[in-house]
Chain A
Amino acid sequence: MIFDNYEAFAAKGFAPKVIIIGSGPAGVTIARKLAAANIPVAIFEAGAADYTDESQDFYKGTTVGDPYFELDVTRLRQFGGCSNHWAGWCRVMDAVDFEPKAWVPDTGWPIRRSDIEPFLEEVHDILDLVPFRDDELVSDDIRWVQLIKSPAVRFSEKYRDEIAASQSIALVLDTYVTELQGDGKKVTGAKIWSAGKEQGVATADYYLPCTGGLENSRLLLWSNERSNGGVVPHAEALGKYWMEHPQFEGGNAIMENENQFEMDEVSEAFFSPTGEAMEREQILNFGIRFIKMPYHGVKWLTAELACVAPETAEWISSGLGGNLRCAAQLVVGWEQSPRADNFVALSATERDDLGIPRIELHWKKRELEHRTLLNGLRLFGETLADKGYGRVRIADWVVNNEPYPTDQELAGHHHMGGTRMGDDLAKSVVDLHQKVHGMDNLYVGGSSVFTTSGQCNPTTTIVALSCRLGDHLARRITQSAMLDKG
């Protein structure tokens, strides 16, 4: 069932067991899992079926610290959420991403990759993926990894008909949950604004904010403020440990054999470090995107190389047989350390049209991030040189530790953390089942629960975690119903 607004939904008399807030990949995936177990679920989507400027305006905010995207541009407030503009790049976080790292504080998830692996077959169906191949070791330091460029499933397109026909899922558009209300043990209701007016309080047995890696923090911070701590009773980490994937052009490579690595259909290949290399260099995970350059790039690089290592330049040129075709641009995206001083806060001065504080995002890259970028490129360069594949030139601004360029991609539009998963009440918001600490019926879906960010695009891991959460919640609700009957 799909309703244009809350009034139409209320008139139907549908009583949901679970209220999901947000209809992006996490919200839709969890709803489908619950519906498969015949559990009635309502999805409240603040936006409309399609993009509108009026809806996006609610996402405006400010950033303090490093340059970042406009907050109403880097996400979408409509049915399907950010799946409407994602590129479709897929990879599951590495096993090493879930492990604690002695050289970086506050790392280590309360779950391991093996906890989400049982759901990867479902994830492949949901995201229309071909099977992943295993990573291939290029050296002791560097893995050649696969990043699948999928057709970029738009959840609003792929699942619209299924949801419309479902008797267990009610998708309610134009329905803004302005706050959750709670008593410190349970959420008691969700305050609704729809069709241009307040619509009272919606209730269910369970509540799941799935509003994205920025908005989940905003909703819970505001709700907690309004209820005097009744929604997130252990709020020390709420909004904190926010992370992105910084992304910059870090250098170039020149190759002796242009067919050394199999490229994808747009002439790109991807490389990451081994766990041992990360530990030895005291760095985090990274992904080097190796992009073949146009013809003129290789000439320039060969000339440059000839200045510092003439014989090497000659060898490279010789190997190319005069075609001079294979050079690459190296774009690096990397894991950011989880830090309490990167955080989402409520603005003290800026509010949306309904009077709810806008986001003030505090975000900065630190020394560890630069070390990961520099040492990562150096490791990749040493691997190419050692194997005789080619040579890497690291960009001057990276070598000289100059300020980050402001005319590049900046980051991946990947919003992670803020309601991170963990066992420590002071450093996390949800437990290993994504249930808010101390609350009986409040769960959180999406990348805001990431404990650490890894280096890869987050959607695949978001969907895997959502399958796991949907499975867990369906089991809990079903068992609870059986006990009630017994």
Chain B
Amino acid sequence: MKTNLTPEALRRRTVLQALLAIPAFALFRHETADVPVQRADGYVVVNGWVLKRSEVA
């Protein structure tokens, strides 16, 4: 199927589709996110996610 959407719009739509596909309460379960666990080596753990510090700055 052809589409006139830009690649950026496609990416956003993909994320949006994912978000819409789950019950809303799941989104707010971690509404008050844990305080990130700071690590010296550039990584943090937020709500269990192991992330680069730059991703949550």
Task: Enumerate chain A interface residues (CB-CB to B < 8 A).
Answer: 251, 296, 298-300, 302-314, 317-318, 320, 322, 324, 377-378, 381-382, 384-386, 391-396, 398-399
Q: Which of the listed residues A303, A305, A392, A399 has the most CB atoms from chain B within 10 Å of its own CB?
A: A303
Contacts of A377 in B (CB 8 A): 50
Partner of A307, one of B12, B17, B27: B27
Q: Is the interface of A mostly helix, strand, loop or mixed?
A: helix
Partner of B50, one of A304, A307, A318, A392: A392
Task: List the 6 closest A-B pairs by CB distance, nearest first.
Answer: A381-B50, A318-B11, A309-B55, A317-B14, A302-B18, A394-B48
Contacts of B40 in A (CB 8 A): none
Partner of A324, one of B18, B27, B33, B45: B18
Contacts of A385 in B (CB 8 A): 43, 50-52
Question: Judging by beta carbons under 8 Å apart, are A306 and B50 in contact?
Answer: no
Contacts of B17 in A (CB 8 A): 322, 324
Question: Judging by beta carbons under 8 Å apart, are B48 and A395 in contact?
Answer: yes
User: What would 11 more interface pairs be, CB under 8 Å, given A309-B51, A391-B50?
Assistant: A303-B18, A304-B49, A306-B15, A306-B18, A308-B47, A309-B55, A314-B11, A377-B50, A382-B41, A382-B50, A396-B48
The CA of A318 and the CA of B12, in the complex, are separated in Å by 8
Report B6 CB to chain A, min CB distance, Å. 12
Report A302 CB to chain B, min CB distance, Å. 4
Known: A306-B15, A382-B50. A299 touches B21 (CB 8 A): yes
The CA of A386 and the CA of B11, in the complex, are separated in Å by 22
B30 contacts the other chain (CB 8 A)? yes
The CA of A324 and the CA of B14, in the complex, are separated in Å by 9
**B interface residues, tally (CB under 8 Å):** 26
Question: Judging by beta carbons under 8 Å apart, are B15 and A302 in contact?
Answer: yes
Contacts of A395 in B (CB 8 A): 48
Task: Enumerate chain B interface residues (CB-CB to A < 8 A).
Answer: 10-12, 14-15, 17-19, 21-22, 26-27, 30, 33, 41, 43, 45-52, 55-56
Known: A314-B11, A318-B14, A322-B10. A303 touches B22 (CB 8 A): yes
Please, which residue of chain B has its CB at the minimum distance from the CB of A309? B55
Contacts of B33 in A (CB 8 A): 307-308
The CA of A322 and the CA of B13, in the complex, are separated in Å by 9
Question: Judging by beta carbons under 8 Å apart, are B56 and A313 in contact?
Answer: no
Q: Which of the listed residues B43, B46, B55 has the most CB atoms from chain A within 10 Å of its own CB?
A: B55
| A and B contact pairs by CB, cutoff 8 A, 6 listed | A324-B18, A378-B50, A381-B50, A382-B50, A394-B45, A399-B45
The CA of A130 and the CA of B37, in the complex, are separated in Å by 44
Report A404 CB to chain B, min CB distance, Å. 16
The CA of A307 and the CA of B51, in the complex, are separated in Å by 13
Partner of B43, one of A312, A382, A399: A382
Please, which residue of chain B has its CB at the minimum distance from the CB of A251? B48
Report A409 CB to chain B, min CB distance, Å. 20
Contacts of B48 in A (CB 8 A): 251, 393-396, 398-399
The CA of A302 and the CA of B50, in the complex, are separated in Å by 14
The CA of A393 and the CA of B56, in the complex, are separated in Å by 15
Known: A302-B18, A303-B18. A308 touches B46 (CB 8 A): yes
Report A8 CB to chain B, min CB distance, Å. 61
Question: Judging by beta carbons under 8 Å apart, are B19 and A393 in contact?
Answer: no
The CA of A304 and the CA of B46, in the complex, are separated in Å by 11
Report B4 CB to chain A, min CB distance, Å. 16
Known: A307-B27, A311-B55, A314-B11. A299 touches B50 (CB 8 A): no
Report A408 CB to chain B, min CB distance, Å. 17
Known: A307-B30, A308-B33. A392 touches B15 (CB 8 A): no
Question: Judging by beta carbons under 8 Å apart, are B43 and A313 in contact?
Answer: no
Contacts of A320 in B (CB 8 A): 14
Contacts of A394 in B (CB 8 A): 45, 48-50
The CA of A302 and the CA of B10, in the complex, are separated in Å by 16
Contacts of B49 in A (CB 8 A): 304-305, 308-309, 381, 391-394
Report B21 CB to chain A, min CB distance, Å. 5
The CA of A382 and the CA of B45, in the complex, are separated in Å by 10
The CA of A347 and the CA of B44, in the complex, are separated in Å by 48
Partner of A308, one of B11, B26, B30, B41: B30
Contacts of A396 in B (CB 8 A): 48
Question: Judging by beta carbons under 8 Å apart, are B43 and A300 in contact?
Answer: no
The CA of A200 and the CA of B3, in the complex, are separated in Å by 87
Please, which residue of chain A has its CB at the minimum distance from the CB of B13? A322
Report B7 CB to chain A, min CB distance, Å. 8
Question: Judging by beta carbons under 8 Å apart, are B47 and A378 in contact?
Answer: no
Contacts of B47 in A (CB 8 A): 304, 307-308, 393
Partner of A304, one of B14, B26, B45, B55: B26
Report B25 CB to chain A, min CB distance, Å. 11
Question: Judging by beta carbons under 8 Å apart, are B51 and A314 in contact?
Answer: no
The CA of A298 and the CA of B22, in the complex, are separated in Å by 11
Question: Judging by beta carbons under 8 Å apart, are A312 and B27 in contact?
Answer: no
